[in-house]
Amino acid sequence: MNIIKDEQIKETNKKECPFANLTYEIDLKEMKINNTKESNTVGCPFHNHSIPNTFKLQTVFSPDVTFDEEYSSQILKDIGGGDRIREFCTRFYAHAFLDLHIKPFFFMDDGATSHAKRLADWVIEKMGGEGKPWSDSGRYGIRQETHARAWYSQKREPKKRGQRFKLDDSRIWMRLHFWAARQCGLSEHKVFWEWYQNFIEEFIGVYESQAVYYVSQDASWSASEKNIKTYIDNGYKMSDVIGKK
């Protein structure tokens, strides 16, 4: 496993958030990326990696308020702001780019940090309280178009090209997504964790109606080190869900 040397870190950080480097472990106490084989701690020029000492929100509300911006904006503020979403989305794409089943959907090759910003800005805008970063980026209204480009990605097998997201696609996406959020400490915020599962449930059903029944299960998948080890040892392939209905 190659570790980035001190002289390379500055150059690397110009292109990618260190959260995109899966050889670095996340120190949840300091919310920093630690190089466990060397003494240096890698800073991030993209995001403000910090976790509040205490969370004010403790009560999980009804799913009926999932799209109540007054409520969700409080959650966003309580977890430490929008960069907490951007950092975990960066980690998510770092995982997704390794996954044998999911990576063919990615038709753009501009790295985990850029991919993460696009997805995270959309989530942040939906949560409210930090303006309209997704709309301001010029991407308002093109979510469906972007997903269509993923369906027709030239990286996909010819026989699959054009197929919409299936159940296995959706479940693998959720497992990796929630795994990244867990790694970045967001499962520790019980209110966010419950709210975000409800949020994902609403949108994953747009693409695959059966996927909504697996949200909680797939959010819990990464709590098992055995599951993660099996997945990695299998060459970043989730054989237990691929092709299953």
Q: Is residue 41 part of a domain?
A: yes
**How is residue 162 written in tokens?**
């054009």
Task: Please tell me the predicted confidence (pLDDT) of residue 54.
Answer: 85
Contacts of 211 (CB under 8 A, 6+ apart): 167, 170, 171, 174, 204, 205
Q: Is residue 1 part of a domain?
A: no
Q: Is residue 243 part of a domain?
A: no
Contact 102, 96 (CB under 8 A): yes
* Whole-angstrom distance, CA of residue 80 vs CA of residue 169: 30
Q: Is residue 244 part of a domain?
A: no
Task: Please tell me the predicted confidence (pLDDT) of residue 2.
Answer: 33
- Single out the residue of 189, 186, 96 nearest to residue 150, CA to CA: 96
Task: Please tell me the predicted confidence (pLDDT) of residue 30.
Answer: 66
Domain of residue 18, residue span: 6-233
**Angle at which helices 111-127 and 69-79 cross, to 10°:** 130
Total structural domains within the chain: 1
DSSP letter string over 30-46? TTEEE-TTSS-EE--SS
Q: Is residue 239 part of a domain?
A: no
Cα distance between the two ends of the chain:
36
Q: Is residue 242 part of a domain?
A: no
Contact 87, 19 (CB under 8 A): yes
2: left (phi over 0), alpha (psi -120 to 50) or beta: beta
Torsion of CA 231, 213, 174, 86, to 10 degrees: -150
Task: Please tell me the predicted confidence (pLDDT) of residue 133.
Answer: 95
Q: Tens place of pLDDT for every residue, the chain, 245 residues?
A: 233 334 433 444 457 888 999 988 888 766 666 655 443 455 677 888 778 888 999 888 788 888 899 999 999 999 999 999 999 999 999 999 999 999 999 999 899 999 999 999 999 999 999 999 999 998 888 888 899 999 999 999 999 999 999 999 999 999 999 999 999 999 999 999 999 999 999 999 999 999 999 999 999 999 999 999 999 999 999 999 999 88
Task: Please tell me the predicted confidence (pLDDT) of residue 43.
Answer: 64
Task: Please tell me the predicted confidence (pLDDT) of residue 12.
Answer: 42
Q: Is residue 222 part of a domain?
A: yes
User: How many CB atoms are closer than 10 A to CB 142?
Assistant: 11
* Whole-angstrom distance, CA of residue 114 vs CA of residue 155: 19
Provide the strand spans (E) within 24-162: 25-27, 32-34, 41-42
Q: Is residue 54 part of a domain?
A: yes
**How is residue 147 written in tokens?**
């997903």
Task: Please tell me the predicted confidence (pLDDT) of residue 41.
Answer: 52
